[in-house]
Amino acid sequence: MLTPKVAVAVCTLLTLTYVDAITDEQGPLGRLSTAVINAAGLLTRLVPRYPNQQGYTKEENEFDFIIVGSGPSGAALANRLSEEKDWKILLLEAGDEASPITEVPFLCGALEFSKYNWGYKAEKMDGFCKGCIDGRMEWPHGKALGGSTIINYMIYVRGNRLDYDRWESMGNPGWSYKDIFPYFLKSEDAHITQTVKDAGYHEKGGYLGVSDVPFRSGAVDAFVQAAQEAGYPFVDYNGKSQIGVSYVQTNTKDGRRVSSESAFLRPIRHRKNLVIRTGSHATKVLIEPRSKKAYGVEYVRNGKKYKALARKEVIISAGGLNSPQLLMLSGIGPKRHLQKVGIPVIKDLPVGEKMYDHATFVGLTFTVNQSIVHKIQDYVTSPESYAAFLKRGAGPFTQIGGVEALTYIKTNASDDPDPTFPDVELIFIGGALSTDAGVVYRRLFNIPRRTYDVLWKPLEGKPAFQVYPMLFHPKSTGYIKLRSRNPLEPPKFYPNYFSDLENHDIKTMIAAIREVQRIVKSPGLQKFGAQIVDTPIPGCEQHAFNSDEYWECGLRSLIGSLYHQVATCKMGPAEDKEAVVDARLRVHGTKGLRVADTSVIPLPVTAHTAEPAYVVGEKGADLIKQDWGVL
């Protein structure tokens, strides 16, 4: 049982962490909270969960397998490969071990402004994010033991069976839905009690906790009812069929975040054949130029350069953004680009030349006439909120940044012939950017204060909710380039949203906006007087509100990413000119080198990509075991 002093200390820490999201606007309190964050991180370093894992003696620098990156794929690989007691595994992670603060679901937005995020921004491009600060989009990517699962919104979505069947049909045997489905069940420890759950589609006893959110606003119940009144069935979107509405399923357990670290690494941290080195930034894969055999990794820790050697394989699991960067730094990538930045070419492959991402629109806000939405100020000033979370894993701090329900729709703009294949996800938020007075959520989408003041400041203290349409299957593709040959410089990210020549992506998003409006007109929400906020988006005043031209302007002004980048190291057969790895995750034209994470996914999936990333790691481990004759 918590003593009063401990409870007060924890409450203060959580509150300051929340406020810390915008240190540049909080003055002395922001600076104080930054100090608290740093102190918490220092405490984790002084009392780590992995005390015997660093291993920097000469004898500890040769391993069977080296894995770069501890996100979902890398953590699953480290777990499963270290099951083989005769194999010695090294897991390298550029970030530190996260503090217990990250386990509070409520803080997921604020954590994007902590040291656990690489802090990337996309490059400015014409056609989107015109209303963002400097025309640039936040491009979050986790930098901690656990990767992006330390800072993400914990939304658990597997995807549509057609995603995987089409994945296989692109020349990738073994990646069909029937091949992948057992891995969903293998990983899962499901405790879904409040939402519909299809029999046979969930399992208990795996490493990965999956739960409902125990705390909900009244607004989400009204939205779920309204969606059903609009014709959408109440479904388990991870079950038999996806199209419909559901309360969100999350990677949480007992009200706390489940990351790849807590799920796949923490339970096995005492395995003697697994070495985990945090704060170790991989800068180059060591590859023998003639044989093109990978034999180790060069990395930097505390300003010092180290090398680790791999007897069998190097596996890059640094995520959709950093895996292509590391390959290019190692001489594997587009020949002209590598030559331009002065990197000797080992293998000419289209690394980073294709990138899909899920764009989401943040400009749809609705007011209601009753207080049925979340009240953040009340939560962070209420002792009961802290007590509920600390003692029972309950209360408002268990909510995942306001995300409460998901609706999968197939708009009338879809050109896909399959009626079961959604093209848009509607993300219901039980509040608005005004709910926290612009402290966190405004900055997540890099929205200028002047735009916030026009659209959301008048709503502060008033009940409002938002629905974010997210485009599942964009026709537009982006790309990644190195900024220089310096491995410590961030790459250049070009999302290239809404660039398809047919304007299909814009048309689909406008169709989704129309569908949101239709749902909101249903009785479930109209009994609360739900109505759209019709204040014109700055820069779009020249268009008639609610016209297609107005919404296109809005979409090109206020757009965000939920960091679902895929295909930057695309999987495909050797004859596929866009492919970087084969169906067994091996980098084409090399030996002893694989990539295993979301970067290999060849098409944008109907999912939030954390769960597909776990599956890539789980299946990747089996492929490796098969290739080395132990499975």
Q: Write the pLDDT tens digit of every residue in 451-495.
A: 999 999 999 999 999 999 999 999 999 999 999 999 999 999 999
Query: What's the whole-number mean pLDDT along residues 127-136?
Result: 96
Q: What is the pLDDT of residues 207-224, one digit of tens each?
A: 999 999 999 999 999 999
Give the rounded percent of residues in the chain with a pLDDT score beyond 90: 84
Task: Report whether pLDDT(436) > 80.
Answer: yes
Q: Is residue 203 part of a domain?
A: no
Q: How far is CA 443 from the centre of its chain?
A: 17
Kindly report the number of other CB atoms within 10 A of residue 394's CB atom.
Answer: 16
Least confident of 150-159, 267-276, 337-346, 374-383: 374-383
Q: How far apart are CA 255 and CA 78, in angstroms?
A: 26
Q: What is the pLDDT of residues 82-100, one digit of tens each?
A: 999 999 999 999 999 998 8
Q: What is the pLDDT of residues 512-528, one digit of tens each?
A: 999 999 999 999 999 99
pTM: 0.94
- CB-CB contact of 76 with 406 (8 Å): no
Tell me what pLDDT residue 601 has: 98
pLDDT: which is higher, 268 or 8: 268
Range of the domain at 3: 1-47
Angle separating helix axes 161-169 and 177-187, nearest 10 degrees: 130
Query: What's the whole-number mean pLDDT along residues 496-516?
Result: 97
Least confident of 56-70, 348-362, 558-572: 56-70
Query: What's the whole-number mean pLDDT along residues 399-428?
Result: 97
Task: Report whether pLDDT(7) > 70.
Answer: no
Tell me what pLDDT residue 2 has: 41
Distances in Å between the Cα of 329 and the Cα atoms of 127, 294, 404, 481 are 30, 14, 41, 11
Give the rounded percent of residues in the chain with a pLDDT score beyond 70: 91
Closest CA to 139 of 323, 326, 359: 359
**Domains in the chain: how many in total?**
1
Rg of the Cα atoms in the chain: 23
Tell me what pLDDT residue 100 has: 87
Tell me what pLDDT residue 3 has: 44
Q: Is residue 39 part of a domain?
A: yes
Q: Which residue is associated with the tokens 């499901």?
A: 190
Task: Report the mean per-residue pLDDT for the chain.
Answer: 92
- CB-CB contact of 315 with 65 (8 Å): yes
Q: Is residue 455 part of a domain?
A: no
Tell me what pLDDT residue 616 has: 98
Return phi, psi of residue 249, to 5°: -100, 140
Q: How far apart are CA 172 and CA 82, in angstroms?
A: 26
Strands 332-333 and 347-348: parallel
- Residue 37 — pLDDT band, cuts 50, 70, 90? low
Q: Is residue 32 part of a domain?
A: yes
Degrees, nearest 5: CA angle 203-600-361:
80
Kindly report the number of other CB atoms within 10 A of residue 30's CB atom.
Answer: 17
Task: Report whether pLDDT(36) > 90.
Answer: no
Catalytic residues: 564, 608
Task: Report whether pLDDT(56) > 80.
Answer: no
Q: Which residues of 284-318 are buried (b: 16+ CB within 10 A; e: fewer)?
A: bbbbeeeebbbbbbbbbbeeeebebebebbbbbbb
Let me know if 367 is exposed, middle or buried by CB neighbors in 10 A (0-12, 13-18, 19+).
Answer: middle
- Residue 31 — pLDDT band, cuts 50, 70, 90? low
- Residue 439 — pLDDT band, cuts 50, 70, 90? confident
Tell me what pLDDT residue 233 has: 97
Kindly report the number of other CB atoms within 10 A of residue 599's CB atom.
Answer: 32
Q: Is residue 160 part of a domain?
A: no
Task: Report whether pLDDT(8) > 50.
Answer: no
Q: What is the pLDDT of residues 553-576, one digit of tens each?
A: 999 999 999 999 999 999 999 999
Q: Is residue 452 part of a domain?
A: no
Q: Is residue 454 part of a domain?
A: no
Tell me what pLDDT residue 377 has: 84
Tell me what pLDDT residue 253 has: 96
Query: What's the whole-number mean pLDDT along residues 33-47?
Result: 59
- Residue 58 — pLDDT band, cuts 50, 70, 90? low
Least confident of 27-31, 389-393, 439-443: 27-31
Q: How far apart are CA 601 and CA 603, in angstroms?
A: 6
Q: How far apart are CA 445 and CA 222, in angstroms?
A: 27
Degrees, nearest 5: CA angle 269-275-278:
90
Q: How far is CA 171 from the centre of its chain?
A: 27
Q: Is residue 449 part of a domain?
A: no
Q: How far apart are CA 108 and CA 402, in angstroms?
A: 10
Q: What is the pLDDT of residues 283-340, one digit of tens each?
A: 999 999 999 999 999 999 999 999 999 999 999 999 999 999 999 999 999 999 999 9
